[in-house]
Amino acid sequence: MGGPSASDLRIRRRATAWYNHGRSTKRHVPPAAVIAGARTLAQNHPARKAASMNYNTVEYERSFGTSSQLTPSEGPEIAFAGRSNVGKSSLLNKLFNRKKLAYVSSTPGKTATINFFRSGDVRFVDLPGYGYAQVSKSERGRWSELIEGYFNQDRNFALVASLIDIRHPATDLDETMVGFLLEADLPFCIVLTKGDKLSHSKCQAQKAALARQLELPPNIPLVVTSSLKGSGMDDLRAVIDQAIAAAEGRR
Ligand SMILES: Nc1nc2c(ncn2[C@@H]2O[C@H](COP(=O)(O)OP(=O)(O)OP(=O)(O)O)[C@@H](O)[C@H]2O)c(=O)[nH]1
Ligand SMILES: [Mg+2]
């Protein structure tokens, strides 16, 4: 596949930082190298079958409390983003067949650092949850600095898994997150969480409704999951494997 097309390189600037959603005047300008390197999964869809990685050998690597502490990417990164309590940490544990690798709590706002998990040269990145109103302004500021700081760096973004609770419409911040991912042209998928809370037919109806609400292009994968039951994990692993193969093909 050739170099990035003109549309790949197009940078559409956002008037507001995604996390602050109208509360900040800071512009998000994704680094040119990220734009150049990041294309949608479909554009990169390799004809070859992606080699699957070993999800049973993932280990905790490091946590970062500020984005300036982040060390440069050393391999493809799969980042998990979503509102607080949506089930990011639970999903990571289920994906890796581990009970307590990432910290899970029914109290929202537990993950207040960027946590890196590693298998070989692949990194899984548990981002702090957004949109939790019950924390102080300074704590919210710290979270937004972390999330924006992460996405503003020139990193090897293989895939962003954007998590949304299947029971509800996407929140304003979910919409802003997805809008940002589309505009920055980052490879991403939508992971609908807590599928065990609805019947199969309701899950399918919600999946279609969310795709409509978010105006998702047809090439963006939408995976229904339950970390309680383990459903959807193989589908998500296949999306991740494909994304890692595409990221490695770009290098
Ligand atoms: N029924 C059900 N509950 C879930 C599922 N995934 C997560 N939960 C519950 O949702 C709550 C939040 O889960 P976490 O995994 O800690 O959520 P998080 O997104 O990491 O939250 P923060 O770290 O605060 O951003 C916990 O009580 C989990 O047990 C699921 O698939 N099904
Ligand atoms: Mg968490």
Give the single-character DSSP code of 14: B
- Rounded distance between C-alpha atoms, residue 168 and residue 165, angstroms: 6
Tell the residue nearest (CA) to atom 14 of ligand 1: 87
- Tell me the domains of the chain and their CATH numbers: 14-45+53-250 (3.40.50.300)
pTM beyond 0.85, yes or no: no
Tell the residue nearest (CA) to atom 9 of ligand 1: 87
- Rounded distance between C-alpha atoms, residue 111 and residue 128, angstroms: 5
Per-residue pLDDT of the chain (251 residues; tens, 9 = 90+): 334 333 333 233 332 344 444 333 333 434 333 333 333 443 444 444 556 688 999 999 999 988 999 999 999 999 999 998 899 989 999 999 988 887 776 666 556 789 999 999 999 999 988 877 666 777 777 777 888 899 999 999 999 999 999 999 999 999 999 999 999 999 999 999 999 999 999 999 999 999 999 999 999 999 999 999 999 999 999 999 999 999 988 76
- Atom of ligand 1 lying closest to residue 111 CA: 23
Q: How many angstroms is it from 108 CA to the middle of ligand 2? A: 8
Q: How many angstroms is it from 249 CA to the middle of ligand 2? A: 31
- Check if the beta carbon of residue 240 is closer than 8 Å to that of residue 78: yes
In 3-state terms, the chain is what percent helix, strand and coil (to 5)? Answer: 35, 20, 45
Q: How many angstroms is it from 191 CA to the middle of ligand 1? A: 13
